[in-house]
Structure 1
Amino acid sequence: MGESSNRPFWREKSLEAMSAAEWESLCDGCGRCCLNKLEDWDTGEIAWTNLACQLLDGQSCRCSDYENRWATVPDCVQLDPTMVRELSWLPATCGYRLVAEGRDLYWWHHLVSGDPETVHQAGISARGRTVSELGKELEEYEEHIVDWPGENPLEDAA
């Protein structure tokens, strides 16, 4: 009889092999991917803003209407394994990105810690650092450029 592995699913399965529930659980709830980004058309460089999607709950850092988000935000990006591997703007700490790169999840990820609050306690999330995009004109976005969403505070502190 073969032994079943006690390793967590994200260490055993590719992104493509995950069930829908496993896939959804990889989201750490940081909210950083729900921040508006500006792309330089010439260089492709991404500039992060602290302007949050109108559906981002600033406290939980989760979508306030996840199931129906496209009705309000038609250009909301639906991540899939191909997109995870192609998008340059996914945060360095993103669970999807880490698994796609063959890396493990950080200690503060709820699948490791067992607590959805550790992402906030570790200073990874957007909690308390955003402004709603509502009422902002595109011309104002440059006034909201910030560095922290693209950084990994755990590696930057080392």
Structure 2
Amino acid sequence: MTGPIDRTGLRPRFWERVPMKKLTRQEWEALCDGCGKCCLNKLEDADTGEVVFTRIACRLLDDDTCRCANYACRKSIVPECVVLTPKNIAEIAYWMPASCAYRLVWEGKALYDWHPLVSGDPDSVHRAGMSVKGWTIPEFDVPVEDWEDHVIEEEL
């Protein structure tokens, strides 16, 4: 037994106590802070493996909500979309934002105070300036060969 489930269907502070592979589907989804950073297109150097983020967003990212506009069907619409699971996080974590709750929990680190699970407020990620709200560019507006011109220098 890992603890009672509250009225939201989430066990209290589950991210600190429950192994990722034992999270319920609802708990897994609740780890997402809604920042939208994982939906930014990335460039990876073939020689060094270095990954950099661009301000160019996936065609399905809603810039106002920082959420996928068609989450349930995203993989069929965007075949290159990576569906994160407890089984594949070890291979994927390196290209996820440093502030991502999935990456933090996988690395054994604490969630930030602005994370909605900690703050209790789904908009805290936006107020803290930790989301991509309002500053992305739709991927179809920029040719792929020009994506390098839109690299974000700071670490996400």
TM-score by length of 1: 0.87
Aligned length: 149
Q: CA deviation at 1:7?
A: 4.9
User: Sequence identity, in percent?
Assistant: 49
Cα displacement string for residues 25-80 of structure 1 (whole angstroms, at most 9, x for unaligned residues): 00000100100001111111112100000100101100000001122201100001
* Greater mean deviation of Cα atoms: 5-14 or 89-98: 5-14
Q: Structure 1 residue 147: deviation in Å?
A: 2.1
Distance 2:152 2:109 in 1: 26
- Please state if 1:34 is matched with 2:46: no
Coordinate RMSD, CA, aligned: 1.9
* Structure 1: segments with no counterpart, 5+ residues: 152-158
Q: Give the letter for the 1:79 counterpart.
A: L
Moved over 3 A (4+): 4-7
Once residues 142 and 129 of structure 1 are traced to their aligned partners in structure 2, the CA distance between those partners, rounded to angstroms, is: 17
Question: Separation in 1 of the partners of 2:51 and 2:128?
Answer: 24
What is the correspondence of 1:79-94 to structure 2 with a 5 Å cutoff? Answer: 79-87=84-92, 88-94=94-100
Following superposition, the deviation at residue 85 of structure 1 comes to: 2.4
Structure 2: gaps of 5 or more residues? 5-10
- Residues 84 and 90 in structure 1, CA contact (< 8 A), matched pair in contact too: no
1:134 is matched with which residue: 136, 140, 152?
A: 140
Give the Cα separation in 2 of the matches to 1:69 and 1:85.
22
Higher deviation after alignment, 90-99 or 80-89: 80-89
Aligned counterparts of 1:102 and 1:41: Cα–Cα separation in 2:
29
TM-score normalized by the length of structure 2: 0.88
1:59 to 60, 64, 67: 64
